[in-house]
Amino acid sequence: MKHDRKRSENTIDKGFKGILCPTREQAERIEKTFGCCRYVFNSFLDERIREYRERGKTLTYTEQCAMLPLLKKDPKTSWLGEVDSTALQSSVRALQDSYDAFFRGQTGFPKFKSKHSHRQSFRSTNNHGSIRLVDRKHIRLPKLGEVQCRFPMEVQGKILSAVVTKEPDGKYGISLNCEVPRPPEPEKTGKAVGIDLGIRTLAVTSDGKEYDNPKTYEKNLRKLRRTQRKLSRKTRGGRNWEKQRKKVAKVHQKIRNQRTDAIHKMTHELVYAYDLICIEDLDVREMSKGKLARGITDASFGEIRRRLAYKTEWTGKRLIVTERWYPSSQVCSGCGYVNKDAKDLKIRRWRCPQCGQEHDRDLNAAKNILREGLKTAG
């Protein structure tokens, strides 16, 4: 969630992910915070729906935040005062963000949160040092005290907020949002590149470089099916079922980690090698409804674009997103002839009927994306 705030000049927000190792008492308090945040979100969503049905109006974020102190004073909900107050406020903000995204057409109408969800989270804001690192292995969190933790990277900058999560495999994680000095811009290369994203090859650049698709889901599919098959034979809700469910969750976590690692390495290399990067505006949601849904989801085109966006901003580079309906794969990069036969995805190589130039489908698309991006960039 991004909100307006006063910030120091020449700084950026950077996240640091780690693992929490709470004691039994701390884990119980974390679970209670999950429940309180879920209660606030669901009850306030219900109030908004009821208010709109009865009066045709909706409650605002400010109005609902003002209700929180009243709930804590009410004997029926006084237990809300036992958890971090900023976590409850963040739940109200999350509800407002859900409404804003709905009215922008980005998501559906906000849904009630379920206590049976295997992934829970809450966000705490750092007020006057309420969140701080005690040493490399301990962090102080509101209402929790010192919690043992592990961060693969050294945490830097001013801590703004912390998100505590419980993953489906039962482990607790933490993500710190920190304000850090903007890194020095790398040397300009003077190069521009067009990138065509795909399934067979994750990315092909306009100068002919290919990035292999790790296909993490496909590589782990056999193990995933085996663990899911064992899960289906357990009695749902039993102790053995819960143990096996966590094993399935661990396989999914491994898939996500491998995919994230590959995307990080590719985007890092691209950002430092080129000053101008051009990509297509792909409708990933619509593409995921077809026969290639599994491959498109595994390739994670949206995540590639997201990482390129913030990395180019950090390094002073530029990202250009070309027009969505431009037929990059059908246009001859040599003469501009539009070959409608090349629309068939099975055609990997084709010869231009007009100029006779032979094209590799992905490389030709990348060259066209670069040309269109340069037009946009001016």
280 flagged as catalytic: yes
Q: Please give the Cα distance from 244 to 374 (Å, whole number).
A: 52
Q: Catalytic pick from 84, 275, 298, 362? A: 362
* Cβ–Cβ < 8 Å for 168, 246: yes
Q: Catalytic pick from 196, 275, 298, 372? A: 196
283 flagged as catalytic: no
Please report which helix (H) or strand (E) contains residue 17, including its range: strand 11-21
User: How many DSSP H helices and E strands does the chain contain?
Assistant: 11, 14
146 flagged as catalytic: no
Q: Where are any strands of DSSP class E within 32-186?
A: 120-125, 132-135, 138-141, 145-150, 158-166, 172-181
Amino acid identity of residue 32, one-letter, is: K
Q: Find all residues with CB under 8 Å of 232, minimum gap 6, and list them.
A: none
Q: Catalytic pick from 84, 167, 275, 280? A: 280
Torsion of CA 184, 185, 187, 189, to 10 degrees: 160
CB neighbour class for 6 (10 Å; exposed up to 12, middle 13-18, buried from 19): exposed
Amino acid identity of residue 109, one-letter, is: F
Q: Residue 146 corresponds to which tokens in the numbers above?
A: 């010192």
Active site residues: 196, 280, 362
